[in-house]
A and B are shown apart, each in its own frame.
Chain A
Amino acid sequence: MRLRRFGRRLAWLMAGAAIGTTVVLLVALLVPVPAELWQDSALLALPMVLGAVLVGGLLGLVPGVRELEVAAARAMLEVRSELVVPARPSPAHRLRDVLLVQCHLLLGLAAAAGLTMLLPYTAVTLAALGGAEIGPASVPRPDGPVGAVLLAAICLAALAVAVLASWPLGVLAARIAARLLGPTPGDRLALALDRVDREAERTRIARDLHDGIGHALTVVSIQAAAGGRVIDRDPVAAQEALTSIEHTAREALVELDQVLATLREDAAADDAASAGGARTEGASRRAAERADGTEPRTDGAPLPDLDALLAQHCRTGMELRTHLAPPLGLTALQSEHLTRIAAELLTNAQRHGGAGAVELELREGEDEAGERVVVLESRNPLPAPVGAGSAATDPAGPAPAPRVRRGGRGLPGLRERLDLWGGSLEAGPHEGRWRTRAVLPLLTERPRR
């Protein structure tokens, strides 16, 4: 086990040595050195190698090197700690890449130096001992057999030491790689922000469950208790209680469906992020999005989340007609919000609208000032009037019909969301249908020069 680890780390060092040697040779060829300096090659060798390694570190700037080094650190150095492949490398990441390549070359050359110098020397000495007439005159030739055996032993011991010296070098390499490939302070911040986001989302879901499902179950339990209490004396009242229970439970199921959909979305996002072993990657990208507020969509499929949402509503039996023309270059952040707004619009239409088709339109437009905006609009049939209740004829109005849960997100929540973007919301009857229109300034990728 240990031997295998040693072997792998030795292989990592040898890879560094191979590239390091090439770099040193290249530098030696390319740098003009005055002939007299070559006289004392020992004096020249060390600065030459160090200079070459410094230059060779620039290899760290080659795209893909970080991925390679992360893979190598995992497979060969057996680094277990968290390693980061940033979606958008920061200067800190690049500096670390350069430092790591330099360390890789240097450690590799150091390990190789011991081996390459001692291996031939040992071989020559052993051959000379065997009586072969090779090698330089400086090879010592002991007189007696005892001396010969002693010399052979010293040679082999030196070779063993040279090999074993790679052991601490390998350990050192693993430490350095873990440090340089691990999360930077910026990555840690992004991770922390990511966790805060998740926490906030969890809190929101908990609140939704409390407000929606908890409230509905309260109504159900009290109405059931009341119905049971009066069923003998007042069957009509008991019947009404049952009707309330039925309605409330049904609404709660719709709501539960939405909460579960949110949870599934989150789980899917988590899976996507953890696939490939770079959970930090998502965090880095999110931090990058936060930094400049825009993340151009490069995948050809516009608003995949919206598609899933629409499919979901169709499955629940909604007759849905869509006219979707998402503006090109919509940012991921904004498309995510558009999807959530669409979810709210469709839910309102489903909950409060009359029977019939629901239309959803997404298009680019211009506001009064001529600025580009995104328009998301839903149109649904007006509901049949319920009794004399005026609130019930307001299919998406903020004044809830009696059986609508309180404290939910609804239109006020939607307004808040739009305010955040500097957008607006209008809702009201339009050409015999109920129209809810959300307008928000278009955010696209920044023009590139």
Chain B
Amino acid sequence: MIPPADPAPVRVLLADDEPLVRQGMRMILEAEEDLVVVGEAADGASALDLARREHPDLVCMDVRMPGIDGIRATELVLRLPEAPKVLVVTTFENDGYVLEALLAGASGFLLKRASAAQMVQAVRTLAHGDSLLFPEEVRALLRPRARTADHTGEPLTPREQEVLAAVAQGASNAEIAADLVVGVETVRTHVAAVLRKLGARDRTQAAVIAYRTGLVDP
């Protein structure tokens, strides 16, 4: 599973107000050679502080924290120069936080009841950004928000439109390439163009924008 092309470990920041949750996640993530935990924060403000100082690749952000909560902290962290990706961690799937986090710009979400393997997998998927985490759930969450915004940027070409739909379904570049019978490099170019035109920071946010603007039907 460890991508050989990426030898530098993924730097992870943990933000959760429960020490036992942080400690457990640290144990799980640090057991992997390609992941390293660079800091722990007990609230949104110190998460922002640490993110500024440690330049993590990814922040595991609890939604419910005292003071600045996880949603607001996500927004603030994403405004930093060279912002890390945010993986929102929540206790319950249906409490509304996940949608809020996605709208705030999070790249993915994870339930705290996930297994250790799922947790590691989620961090890797987000860090490497080559596919979407939980595409079905994202689609379901965004369904009530379908077509609540307009795409005002540069229009997408029909090919880019196809690529966007595939990205939203959770397809990786290799899968899209096989599907459209083109090279992976070509797909990568298309994806980059789509992200640029939508102003999206990653595939998850591209899917969120695609659903909200009606470019793709959720």
> Do these two chains really belong together in a complex?
yes
A contact set with B: CB distance below 8 Å: 210, 214-215, 217-219, 221-223, 225-230, 233-234, 237, 241, 244, 248, 402-403, 406-407
A interface, over-half SS: helix
- A406 near B24 with CB under 8 A, answer no
Q: Is B23's CB under 8 angstroms from A226's CB?
A: yes
**Which residues of the other chain, A, contact B112 by a CB distance below 8 angstroms?**
218, 221-222
> Which residue of B20, B31, B91, B115 has the most chain A CB atoms within 10 A of its CB atom?
B20
Partner of A219, one of B20, B28, B115, B119: B20
Residue of B whose beta carbon sits closest to that of A234:
B27
A230 touches B31 (CB 8 A): yes
Interface residues of B in 114-135 (CB under 8 A from A): 115-116, 119
CA–CA, A210 and B28, complex, Å: 24
Task: State whether B24 touches A225 (Cβ < 8 A).
Answer: yes
In the assembled complex, the CB of B92 is this many whole angstroms from the nearest CB of chain A, namely: 7
Q: Is B19 an interface residue (CB 8 A)?
A: yes
Residues on A with C-beta less than 8 A from B27 are 226-227, 229-230, 234, 237, 241
With CB as the reference atom, state the residue of chain A lying closest to B30. Answer: A230
Q: In the complex the two chains form, is B19's CB within 8 Å of A402's CB?
A: yes
Cross-chain pairs A/B with CB under 8 angstroms, 21 sampled: A210-B91, A210-B92, A215-B18, A218-B91, A219-B18, A219-B20, A221-B113, A223-B20, A225-B119, A226-B23, A226-B24, A226-B25, A226-B26, A226-B116, A228-B116, A230-B31, A241-B24, A241-B27, A403-B20, A406-B66, A407-B64
**Shortest distance in angstroms between B62's beta carbon and chain A's nearest beta carbon?**
10
B175 at the interface (CB under 8 A from A): no
Closest to A244 in B: B20
Q: Which residue of the partner chain, among A214, A229, A403, contacts B31 with CB atoms under 8 Å?
A: A229
In the assembled complex, the Cα of A426 lies from the Cα of B25 at a distance in Å of: 38
A214-B92, A218-B91, A222-B25 as given contacts; A229 in contact with B18, CB under 8 Å: no
* Bound Cα distance from A215 to B16, whole angstroms: 12
A229-B120 Cα distance, complex, nearest whole Å: 11
* Contact of A215 with B24 at beta-carbon distance under 8 Å, contacts A221-B112, A225-B116, A225-B119 already known: no
Q: In the complex, which residues of chain A have a beta carbon less than 8 angstroms from the beta carbon of B23? A: 223, 226
Inter-chain pairs besides A219-B20, A222-B25, 17 sampled, C-beta below 8 Å: A210-B92, A218-B18, A218-B21, A218-B112, A218-B113, A222-B112, A225-B28, A225-B115, A229-B116, A230-B27, A230-B31, A241-B24, A244-B20, A402-B20, A403-B20, A406-B17, A407-B64
Query: Which A-B residue pairs are the 7 nearest by beta carbons?
Result: A222-B24, A226-B27, A226-B24, A225-B116, A218-B112, A219-B20, A223-B24
With the chains together, A250 CA to B20 CA distance in Å?
A: 15
The CA-CA distance from A226 to B28 in the complex, in Å, is 5
Chain B contacts with A in 52-85, Cβ cutoff 8 A: 64, 66
Contact B113 A229 (CB under 8 A): no
Q: List the interface of chain B (C-beta within 8 A of A).
A: 17-21, 23-28, 31, 64, 66, 91-92, 112-113, 115-116, 119
Instruction: Assess whether A219 is in contact with B24, with CB atoms less than 8 Å apart.
Output: yes
Chain B residue nearest to A232 (CB atoms) is B31
Can you name the residue of chain B whose Cβ is closest to the Cβ of A214? B91
- Alpha-carbon distance between A241 and B31 when the two chains are bound, in angstroms: 15
Complex contacts, B24 vs chain A, CB 8 Å: 219, 222-223, 225-226, 241
Distance of A229 from chain B, by nearest CB (Å): 5
A215, A222, A227, most chain B CB atoms within 10 A: A222
Which residues of chain A are near B25, meaning CB under 8 Å? 222, 226
Residues of chain B with a CB closer than 8 A to A210's CB? 91-92
How far does the alpha carbon of A407 sit from the alpha carbon of B17 in the complex, in Å?
11
Smallest Cβ distance from B56 to chain A, in angstroms?
A: 20
Residues of B within 8 A of A230 (CB): 27, 31
Instruction: Name B25's closest neighbour in chain A (CB-CB).
Output: A222
Q: Which residues of B contact A228 (CB under 8 A)?
A: 116
Closest to A402 in B: B19
What CA separation (Å) do A215 and B63 show in the bound complex? 13
Nearest Cβ on chain B to A215's Cβ, whole angstroms: 7
| Cα–Cα distance between A244 and B19 once the two chains are bound (Å) | 11
The minimal Cβ–Cβ distance linking B119 to chain A, given in whole angstroms, is 7
A221–B24 alpha-carbon span in the complex (Å): 9
Chain A residue with minimal CB distance to B118? A225
Most A CB contacts (10 A, CB to CB) among B23, B24, B92, B119 go to B24
Q: When chains A and B are docked, how far (Å) is the Cα of A402 from the Cα of B91?
A: 19
B92 neighbours in A (Cβ, 8 Å): 210, 214
Q: Would you give the shortest CB distance from A247 to chain B, in whole angstroms?
A: 9
In whole angstroms, what is the CA distance A237 to B20 when docked? 12
Are A233 and B31 in touch, CB under 8 angstroms?
yes
**Complex Cα gap A278–B97 (Å):** 43
> What residues on B are CB-neighbors of A402 within 8 Å?
19-20
Give the residues in chain A near B18, CB-CB below 8 Å.
215, 218-219, 406
Assembled-state Cα–Cα distance A308/B115 (Å): 42
